[in-house]
Amino acid sequence: MRIRGGASLGGTIDISGSKNLSLPAMMASLLTDQPLSLSNVPRLADVISAIELLDYLGVGVRRSSSSSLVLCCSNLKTTEAPYDFVRKMRASVLALGPLLSRFGKASVSLPGGCAIGARGIDLHIKAMQQLGAEVTIENGYINASAPNGLDGCDVNFPISSVTGTENTLMAAVLARGTSRILNAAMEPEVVEFANLLNTMGANITGHGTPIITIEGVESLHGASFEIMPDRIEVGTYAIATVATNGRVMLKGCIPDHLSSFLEILKAAGGVYEPVDGGILVYRGQDKIEPVSICTAQYPGYPTDLQAQYMTLMTIANGASSITENIFENRFMHAPELCRMGANIAINGRTATVIGVRKLSGAQVMATDLRASVSLVIAGLIASGETIVNRLYHLDRGYENLEVKLNNCGADMERLEG
């Protein structure tokens, strides 16, 4: 992506549906033989990867409009999710819970490492074992079986895990009796996911708190469900707006999902005003204030907005620290930002950022989804031309990124090759 920096963003951006809700929602189609209709699904590479996996498993997937999918698992072909799918997209491990609970067995490739840390799935495996599954690890695969079904129980997460909670929900909804997830993830995506399962006939209560209770039911049925707006996309464009000293209306966002982020953005000099169906964001003062953050599970500051925020702090009026508490290796954007003139020192899980007057355009390399977009924001505020390489990361999680930004006055273009 070639970006010519310097423009202040101005205009309106329509926020797409949430990636991190769409992926588990699509996997929930494995839980019933009736059609599941999902609307407001973003057109992203990760969604296509999920469609490919579901298609391989035997789920019929049809696009009923550009942002709507109808998924129907009335004729499963296999309970095996091979390495090629899981390697491409970690969220493929979300096939484990529903395959096991509905079909009594699942074989899912281990995902291996990823760019932002070791990211084990030991907690997913342990949860399935606690629900009564026999699990072995062989040839790089998790082989889980529960020929007589799963039994409800307490599943206690030592670390709260978003997809771990979602996988456990899908396993427990069809288990016999009552399950409780202790130290459950409370992210809005998890809450909405439980709402989707309830719409499909599940009996889940307590979602949005650390203890979720699931009364197992015999079967689930089809449903129609609208995917909520992507709060990380909202936060990303809000940062881009404040960083470029722009003024943008973000349409279709739920400010309550971003409380801790919006508080920090305000302290850093951003202004946001709730307006009908969205928020208007702009910079309220000349200089950006340095404000330190620590990432945390919801309702804390989201790790998925850490890289973008670091870019904002590179041009703040002083020093700030950024502590990444969720993933151990999520600072890969920092050396790239330094190539653009940023002043960042990393010590373990904390980055110290000393604001500079200006960034300057350079060739940079994207390493993961949120790192990539932090470099795009850096390109927007830098003088001269920035080239961001390895765009496939961006396409995994941002729908029409350059169209949305160019409509607001950015100067970006996708280069071939």
Alpha carbon distance 365, 336 (integer Å): 7
Where does residue 50 rank: exposed (0-12), middle (13-18), buried (19+ CB within 10 A)?
A: buried
Alpha helices by DSSP H, listed for 156-314, are: 162-172, 188-199, 231-243, 259-267, 306-313
Q: What is the DSSP string of 1-48?
A: -EEE--PPPEEEEEPPBPHHHHHHHHHGGGG-SS-EEEES----HHHH
Nearest to 396 by CA among 366, 370, 369: 369
Shortest Å, Cβ 26 to ligand EPU: 11
Nearer to ligand EPU, 91 or 375 (CB): 91
The single residue among 47, 133, 326, 377 that binds ligand EPU, judged by CB under 6 A, is 326
Q: Is 16 among the residues that bind ligand EPU (CB under 6 A)?
A: no
Q: Does the footprint of ligand EPU cover residue 188 (CB under 6 A)?
A: no
Pattern 151-180, binding to ligand EPU, x per CB under 6 A?
--------x-xxxx----------------
Name the residue nearer to ligand EPU (CB basis): 86 or 369: 369
Q: Which of 58, 120, 132, 384 binds ligand EPU (CB under 6 A)?
A: 120
Out of 114, 153, 253, 408, the active site residue is 114
Catalytic residue status for 114: yes
- The answer to whether the beta carbons of residues 264 and 289 sit under 8 Å apart is no
CB of 250 to ligand EPU, least distance (A): 18
Query: Should residue 349 be labelled a site residue for ligand EPU when binding is judged by CB under 6 A?
Result: no
Nearer to ligand EPU, 269 or 302 (CB): 302
Choose which of 62, 63, 78, 117 interacts with ligand EPU (CB under 6 A): 117
CA distance 240 to 282: 10
Which of 223, 208, 119, 216 is CA-nearest to residue 171? 216
Is the Cβ of residue 81 or residue 369 nearer to ligand EPU in the bound state? 369
Please work out the total of residues on this chain that contact ligand EPU, with binding judged by CB under 6 A. 23
Q: 227 with 21: CB under 8 angstroms? A: yes
Q: Using the rule CB under 6 A, is 84 a contact of ligand EPU?
A: no
- Report if residue 20 touches ligand EPU, rule: CB under 6 A: yes
Binding flag, residue 96, ligand EPU (CB under 6 A): no
CA-closest candidate to residue 248, choices 230, 228, 271, 226: 271
Which residues are bridge partners to 70 per DSSP? 37, 62
Element (H, E) at 98: helix 96-103
Please tell me whether residue 262 binds ligand EPU under the rule CB under 6 A: no
Cα–Cα distance, 100 to 108 (Å, whole number): 10
Q: Is 123 in the site for ligand EPU (CB under 6 A)?
A: yes
Please give the residue ranges that form the binding site for ligand EPU (CB under 6 A): 20, 23, 91, 117, 119-124, 159, 161-164, 185, 303-304, 326-327, 369-370, 397
Q: Which residues carry out catalysis?
A: 114
